[in-house]
Structures are given as structure tokens and as C-alpha cells.
Amino acid sequence: MLKAKIKISQITNLTDARYFAAWGVDYLGFDINPDSDHFTSPAIVAEISEWVEGPVMILESSSTPEEILLNDYKNALNEVIVESPVQENNRLTSFTDPGSGNRYAIFHSDQAWSALSLAAMDSLVKSYDHVLLDIPFSTHEVDMILDSGIAGFVVRGGDEEKVGFKSYDDMDELFEFLND
């Protein structure tokens, strides 16, 4: 079991989905913005959901749920969960876990942990059931970040080197550290 909540963002292929599910991540996110480089079609989401068990599948959108045409994805997933913006600048998104009913906030930034305002992070932690960080971080910062009340992290999927093949050496170090 991992010592932090982990959401994988921008899943576009079965190789990533199976790798991360095998590590026991909590959430797999699919970008459903048609103009995104990481767009995942309903057919791909359906294919991946048939092969992968464990993580909760989340649709990632830069639009509010009312603006999204979810019908195309309803056949792909048993339950449609949408991560949508809380702030217009998309630095803060949120979703609700259907199993626990907990509200998750995801703080997105290009700044490292040491550059973030600890007071702002503390305020965020007090406002949501759980907060995940989508920031650059290293394994030596993980325990300090988790001790601050942050529940976990967002990690991104990526392109395969060729269909069905991808090196995960860089990810293995993180997941070995997070594995209890």
C-alpha cells in the first residue's frame, strides 16, 4: 500500500494504466479536452477501463461539468467522475471520490514545494477533505510534504516508446519510496 494518495494524470495508453494500477495508485485521470495534446477519446477510455481494475477513473476537464458532453464517456465508465476547475486560472481543480464521498482539491503549479506559501497550503488543507499536489517534487521532500497535511501527489502519464513498451525507471524510484 502506498503511503500517499496518488492520482495519475493524462493517461493516454494501456501501458501506463496497467503500470500505475499495479503500483496501487488511487486514481487514473483521462484528459477529455479535445484540443489537448493528451486528449483521450471515449473509445480509449473504454478500452483501458476494461483492462484495468483498482484505481478510480476520473475525467479531467478545463471546463465546468455543465459544459462537457459526458454522454460519450458514460458508456466507457460505470461511473463518471469529473475533475473540474475551482478557479478560473485552473490552478485549483477538484473532484469527489464516489466511494468515500471525500472532496479532493488538486493544486497545480510549476513551483517546487520550497517556493510555495506554507500558509496558503495550510489554508487549502483546512478547506478540503484531501489535497493533492501537482508540482515538481523529489522523493526526499515526500515525507515533509505529507507531514504538512497534504494527502498526496499527481504524477503524469506519458507517451509509449513504441506500442506496449515504455521504461519506468524514473517512476520506480518514487513508487518504491512510497510503498510501505
For residue 77, what is the domain's CATH number?
3.20.20.70
Residue among 167, 165, 112 at smallest CA distance from 142: 112
Per the domain annotation, does 119 fall within a domain? no
Per the domain annotation, does 127 fall within a domain? no
Residue among 154, 128, 175 at smallest CA distance from 10: 154
Per the domain annotation, does 170 fall within a domain? yes
Backbone angles phi, psi at 102, to 5 degrees: -70, 140
Per the domain annotation, does 114 fall within a domain? no
pLDDT digits (tens, 9 = 90+) for 55-104: 999 988 876 555 556 667 776 776 667 777 776 665 899 999 888 999 99
pLDDT digits (tens, 9 = 90+) for 17-50: 999 999 999 999 999 888 889 999 999 999 999 9
Who contacts 34 (Cβ-Cβ below 8 Å, separation ≥6)? none
The structure's pTM equals: 0.90
- Predicted pLDDT of residue 154: 97
Per the domain annotation, does 113 fall within a domain? no
Number of structural domains the chain divides into? 1
Per the domain annotation, does 54 fall within a domain? yes
Per the domain annotation, does 84 fall within a domain? yes
Cα(92)–Cα(133) distance, rounded to whole angstroms? 10
Cα(19)–Cα(100) distance, rounded to whole angstroms? 24
Per the domain annotation, does 28 fall within a domain? yes
Range of the domain at 57: 5-90+138-178
